[in-house]
């Protein structure tokens, strides 16, 4: 199956579900998505004062987690090409009383508006699979990462061990789309797109190989929660 990941479709789809996005993420993951982000910012913790970039940031949860783990010491930049998502991120920032150390920028991951070798960490959580040209987006993430900096990719994956594999596959393909679509009604079947996009996305060693091709080394793979999600970390 070819998944339609054209820019206009993805931008419109996430714009439609933006008001329910956080609630649905927490509900459909049984709140475990909070742990995955918590684990990411500690596994790939900033060192020194060089800035951090989070791309495809959505409503900014991973960027906010990086701000918290550094106590505001490090500048964090969060980008997304969906203005409705960025607006919610800005509201979270104001509510938390965060200053200019956290900045939201409208940008497409395939064309990042930053100089090469700028950020010590470039991260993405559940967003790279939505980029129409994943290799181009990954290449941009590597380009703006500093030499010896790290690229971190947190993404859904399919568990490999039974019975978790069978139960989760059934939930992911049958329950999640129906519940998601019912609670976050939208015209583009966003919660049917989710399992389709995950199934279409390279995982495990396949993604690690693509990271190496993009210019990263020392790629490590960390399965989380029985392999429901996976954290990939590479060094430039």
User: Are the C-beta atoms of residues 155 and 229 closer than 8 Å to each other?
Assistant: yes
Q: Are 91 and 98 in contact (CB under 8 A)?
A: no
- Residue pair 185/206 in contact by the 8 Å Cβ criterion: no
Q: Is the pLDDT of residue 117 over 90?
A: yes
DSSP 77: E
Mean pLDDT within 91-106: 95
- In the structure, what pLDDT confidence band is assigned to residue 161 with cuts at 50, 70 and 90? confident
Per-residue model confidence as pLDDT tens digits over 163-192 = 877 777 777 677 666 665 555 454 545 556
Q: Rounded to an integer, what distance in angstroms lies between the CA atom of residue 58 and that of residue 10?
A: 12
CA distance 90 to 184: 21
| Range of weakest confidence among 12-16, 74-78, 90-94, 215-219 | 12-16
CB atoms within 10 A of CB 235: 15
What does pLDDT average to over the chain? 88
Alpha helices by DSSP H, listed for the chain, are 7-28, 32-43, 61-69, 83-95, 134-144, 164-170, 176-183, 190-200, 205-213
State in Å, rounded, how far the first CA of the chain is from the last one.
33
Could you give the residue ranges of the DSSP H alpha helices within 78-214?
83-95, 134-144, 164-170, 176-183, 190-200, 205-213
216 vs 37, 139, 208, 210, CA distance in Å? 22, 10, 9, 9
pLDDT one-digit tens code per residue, 46-97: 999 999 999 999 999 999 999 999 999 999 999 999 999 999 999 999 999 9
CATH number given to 7-235? 3.40.50.150
3-state secondary structure of 171: helix
- What is the pLDDT, as a whole number, of residue 183? 52
List phi, psi (to 5°) of 152.
Answer: -120, 130
- Least-confidence region, from 123-137, 173-187, 207-221: 173-187
Contact 89, 17 (CB under 8 A): no
Dist CA 20 CA 23 (whole Å): 5
Determine the pLDDT at residue 26.
75
Say if CB 140 and CB 114 are below 8 A apart: no
Residues in the chain: 236
Q: What is the mean pLDDT of residues 114-136?
A: 96
- Residue 220 · residue 233 · CB < 8 Å: yes
d(CA 229, CA 225): 7
Note the pLDDT of residue 5: 75
Check residue 188 and give its pLDDT.
Answer: 44
CA distance 236 to 221: 16
Rg over CA atoms, the chain: 17
Question: Is a pLDDT exceeding 90 seen at residue 209?
Answer: yes
Q: State the pTM of this model.
A: 0.91
Q: What is the pLDDT of residue 176?
A: 62
């Amino acid at each position: 199956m070819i998944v339609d990941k054209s820019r206009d479709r993805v931008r419109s789809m996430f714009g439609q579900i933006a008001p329910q996005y956080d609630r649905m993420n927490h509900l459909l993951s049984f709140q475990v998505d909070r742990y995955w982000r918590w684990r990411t910012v500690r596994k790939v913790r900033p060192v020194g004062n060089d800035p951090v970039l989070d791309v495809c940031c959505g409503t900014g949860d991973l960027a906010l987690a990086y701000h918290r783990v550094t106590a505001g010491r490090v500048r964090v930049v969060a980008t997304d090409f969906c203005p409705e998502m960025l607006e919610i991120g800005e509201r979270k920032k104001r509510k938390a009383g965060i200053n200019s150390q956290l900045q939201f920028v409208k940008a497409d991951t395939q064309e990042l508006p930053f100089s090469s070798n700028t950020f010590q960490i470039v991260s993405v959580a559940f967003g790279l699979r939505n980029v129409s040209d994943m290799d181009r987006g990954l290449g941009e993430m590597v380009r703006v990462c500093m030499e010896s900096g790290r690229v971190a990719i947190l993404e859904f994956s399919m568990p490999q061990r039974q019975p978790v594999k069978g139960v989760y596959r059934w939930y992911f393909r049958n329950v999640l789309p129906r519940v998601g679509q019912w609670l976050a009604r939208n015209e583009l079947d966003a919660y049917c797109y989710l399992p389709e996009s995950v199934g279409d996305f390279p995982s495990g060693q396949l993604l690690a190989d693509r990271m190496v091709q993009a210019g990263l080394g020392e790629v490590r793979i960390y399965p989380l929660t029985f392999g429901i999600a996976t954290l990939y970390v590479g060094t430039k």
